[in-house]
Amino acid sequence: MIANYGYKDGSGEYFISIDNDKCDGCGDCVKFCPYNVLEVGEDENDPFREVFVARVREEHRKKIKYSCAPCKPVRGRVELPCVAACKPLAISHSW
């Protein structure tokens, strides 16, 4: 399952997509996110799944454009810490 956390508003599309089929719940992304945006827990949308997965914390889902802003400088873009940390390549950002 692909989980798109985030939103689209007048200024653009802000989604963190987590491929739950690839995610193994290791939690590396949580460790490397400097702003505590991610967490590992039950797959909220599949009550029968036993394996934990990475999720965007509830309180950040409506403001990831702002929560993730410090990792996205307008000049000299670097690879995002969460994306770089994810060995199974399950995380991507839309903006």
Q: List residues binding other proteins (CB under 8 A).
A: 1-11, 13, 15, 44-48, 61-63, 66-67, 69-70, 72-75, 94
Q: Which is nearer to other proteins, 28 or 76 (CB)?
A: 76
- Least CB distance to other proteins at residue 66 (A): 4
Q: Which is nearer to other proteins, 73 or 79 (CB)?
A: 73
Q: Decide if 23 contacts 92 (C-beta within 8 A).
A: no
Residue 76: C-alpha distances to residues 14, 16, 23, 31, 95 (Å): 20, 21, 28, 23, 15
The helix/strand/coil state of 65 is helix
- Least CB distance to other proteins at residue 24 (A): 18
